[in-house]
Amino acid sequence: MARALNQALRDAMSADASVHVLGEDVGALGGVFRVTDGLAAEFGEDRCTDTPLAEAGILGTAVGMAMYGLRPVVEMQFDAFAYPAFEQVVSHVAKMRNRTRGALPLPLVVRMPYGGGIGGVEHHSDSSEAYYMATPGLHVVTPATVADAYGLLRAAIASDDPVVFLEPKRLYWSKDAWDPEEPDAVPPIGRAVVRRPGRDATLLTYGPSLPVCMAAAEEAVRADGWDLEVVDLRSLVPFDDETVCASVRRTGRAVVVHESSGFGGPGAEIAARVTERCFHHLAAPVLRVTGFDVPYPPPLLEHHHLPGAERVLDAVARLQWEQG
């Protein structure tokens, strides 16, 4: 996935001279996760720029660049490092196009490694997607596969609306058959994808929880005979109600799975949307499997905090099968 993201940035910068990359350590080092490796050497420091350790300044600079016709791609080194820049996101990035009645779009991408599972400490493992989902004016996107990492990042950079691009850091080294010379076509921003068809219940997930749900679906067949459908949301804003609801109406049951906390988390909105649109098709309440409602724990405890296949199957077992 890291290579696919790197290729997406390289191809976008080659195709359009207005695309600039900036952030902490993105130049000489190539980024903490090496996603920007080689870009400064190839395109020069003016287009792949190391910045001071000042997130509000980085994003504020990018706002100005976008206002003057450039397409900046900002890297926030870790998810929780972005909080000092949150005021810029809410007050300027999300509102500029609306404030100017459409005259001044902000074609700006904020790349953000997010989520846990790598043994990182607090401020290095947050799942902060709910903050951005609750901010009108932003697109919020998160890939879970190598092909989506490339395709969605290219689409984000091409968008005239600002995109918060959440990269699941524990999937950076995930591998798949993928040809950078002939990348697969990827559905556009705003479209979910059925990764595994099924008939008994739907697992709704995204980003780092997709492999967890795929593993749970395979185990469900072996252990209990449940045939679970897995839907990869890919885009949290805009949200693909059509694909999600079509799946839930077919299966009649749904579980939402994500690392972010449960209370006020993304799953709450997703469950509400599914319930409103699919109520008469549901054989059981929509359930959630999430991170716990606590600050991210120390590395030795994170495996308790993160949703695993066992917790997903426990939720599936509570879907009132006796009434089916």
Residues annotated as part of the active site: 124
10 Å CB burial of residue 173 (0-12, 13-18, 19+) is exposed
Helix axes 146-158, 2-15, angle to 10 degrees: 30
Residue 165, H or E segment: strand 163-168
How far apart, in whole angstroms, are the C-alpha atoms of residue 320 and residue 224? 14
Cβ 197 vs Cβ 229: under 8 Å:
yes
Around 97, how many Cα atoms within 13 Å sit in the side-chain half-sphere?
A: 17
For residues 299 and 235, the answer to whether their CB atoms sit within 8 Å is: no
Angle at 38 between CA 34 and CA 43, to 5 degrees: 135
257 and 286 Cβ atoms separated by less than 8 Å: no
The C-alpha atoms of residue 256 and residue 275 are separated, in whole angstroms, by: 12
